[in-house]
Every structure is written in C-alpha cells, then in structure tokens.
Amino acid sequence: MSRALHAFINELEHDRALREPGRLRERGDVLDRLETWRSCGSPCEPAVEAELRDRVEALCAELEAVDGRLCQGIRQDIQRGVGAHGLLEWAGAADTEVQIRGDSYDYLDALVSGILQIDEPEARLAGLAAEMVFYQPTPARHVFDMLARAALDRRDVLIDLGSGLGHVPLLASICTGARCIGIEWEAARVECARRCAQALNLDQVTFVQGDVRAADLSAGTVFYLYTPFEGSMLRDVLGLLKVQAAAREIRICTLGPCTATVAQEDWLQVVGPWEIHRPAVFRRI
C-alpha cells in the first residue's frame, strides 16, 4: 500500500503535463484522490506517513496554485469585459459531460467558483415558505448547456426565477452579453450576488429581492427555472408566464423535477429533444 502510494506521488511530482492550465479536469481527479488519502491516511510507519503527508501537502498546494492562476486570469478578463472567450472554451469541453454526470458537481463548478468568487451569506437567512425549494445551484455544465439550447444572445433578457447566489444570470451575462435578472426571495443571497456582479464589472446583471409571484416579469424573453418552487406556487408562476407569452415570444428553460409539470402545460411545446438530466426549452404553441 505504502509502496503504491510512494510510486503514485513520485509519478505526480514528475508529471509536467499535469501542471498545464488546460489539464483542469485531471488535476481535479488527482486532488480528489489526494484529499481521500489526506482524510484517511494509510497504514504505514509514522515516520513514513509524516514524510508522505508533507509531500502530499506540497503537491496539493502546487496543483491548487495552478488552478488559482487559471481562475484569476479568466476573472481578470471578465473584469476587463473580455471574459466570454475563456469561459466558453470550457463550456465547449463540458458538452460530453452533460449526460454522464447527472446532477452532481464537477471540476467545472470548481472552475466557476474560483472565477466568480461569490461570498457565502453573512446575514441570517429569512427562511422559505411552504412550496419554496431550498437553494442549490445549477451545475455549471447545465448552465452552459441551457445557454446553448436556448440560443441566448445579446438581444435577450434572461430572468432566473429563484436565482439563489446568482450563478446563472452572472454566467449568462458573461457568456452571451444578454441582460440578465435574478429574482430571489432570500435577501442575504441577493446581496452576495450583487457584490459579485459589482466586483466583476457586470453592469448588465441585476438582482431583485422578492417573491417571483409579485415581481415584474415584463422585460424577460427567456425564463429559467431550476425547480425553485413546487405545487400551487409553480402553477401560479406558470400562469404569470402564460400572460407574458400572450404578449410576446418567450422561451422557458427548466431543469429538474419542475420540467415534468411545465411539460403538461397545453400552451407550451418542448423545443428539440427532451432528455432527462438536461435542461429543457419550451416555447408557446
């Protein structure tokens, strides 16, 4: 066991390719394995274990520093208004991952987190009412997939209904130049999202605190729902979207269990193939 671990660490210490910025995914896999070892240790002599631990710590620090520089470079490009390219390169790489990984998070989420650097809320959360669904961010590869499937562009206004910490409007605005609005019940999360937009100089993104049912939806051309609510609340919001759809062309994008409910609406039709574990896009019939 200890010999195998020595060999593995030795190999990693000499693997120059692993230090190339583009090998993000491979670094993520290696860091996961090293993290498992860090938390479990191995049945070796204490002196051997201490030496291995030092080498593992040094390796992790070195690989994390490569990731940090990659994220910082893309972040600075975004701040200068030229960040779309760097992000979209990674979005392209995500294409094949969409099917395989379902709802889990992966190296792309780590990349997005390192780029956006959204704070965790400091203030107390207000708490959710019945039928509101707790916060969980859309995995990054699904955000990129949704933007491509909805063909979002700079003429659109995307509204994320229940936007949490704001990943979707932030990424959508960076990647497409579209105006993006997030509506979120939890004021503390809205504050974090606003701070992030400001730090990245994204003046096309705004966040509104409030209940989606009372919000102004009149600017939206694309609405996104990652199952933010269920039951009668979801039906009420679909009623509001139907009113919007009567006035102009809109697309509705969904991910998660709410897709099945949206698909039953007789005024909507799904665009393209609808696959489980992928965002779906609907238009008015």
Ligand X SMILES: C[S@@+](CC[C@H](N)C(=O)[O-])C[C@H]1O[C@@H](n2cnc3c(N)ncnc32)[C@H](O)[C@@H]1O
Q: Residue numbers of the site for ligand X (CB under 6 A)? A: 128, 132-133, 135-138, 160, 162-164, 167-168, 183-186, 211-213, 226-229, 233
Nearer to ligand X, 34 or 166 (CB): 166
Exposed (0-12), middle (13-18) or buried (19+): which is 98, by Cβ within 10 Å? Answer: middle
Nearer to ligand X, 75 or 167 (CB): 167
CB of 249 to ligand X, least distance (A): 22
Nearer to ligand X, 250 or 258 (CB): 258
Token pair listed for 233 = 């609340």
Determine the Cα angle at 137 with ends 118 and 130, to 5°: 115
Nearer to ligand X, 52 or 181 (CB): 181
CB of 179 to ligand X, least distance (A): 17
CB of 257 to ligand X, least distance (A): 10
CB of 142 to ligand X, least distance (A): 8
Gap between the Cα atoms of 168 and 188, Å rounded: 17
In this chain, which residue has its C-beta nearest to ligand X? 162
DSSP three-state, residue 284: strand
CB of 272 to ligand X, least distance (A): 21
- Is residue 182 a contact partner of residue 163, using CB atoms and an 8 Å limit? yes
Nearer to ligand X, 136 or 198 (CB): 136
Gap between the Cα atoms of 14 and 69, Å rounded: 20
- Is residue 166 a contact partner of residue 118, using CB atoms and an 8 Å limit? yes
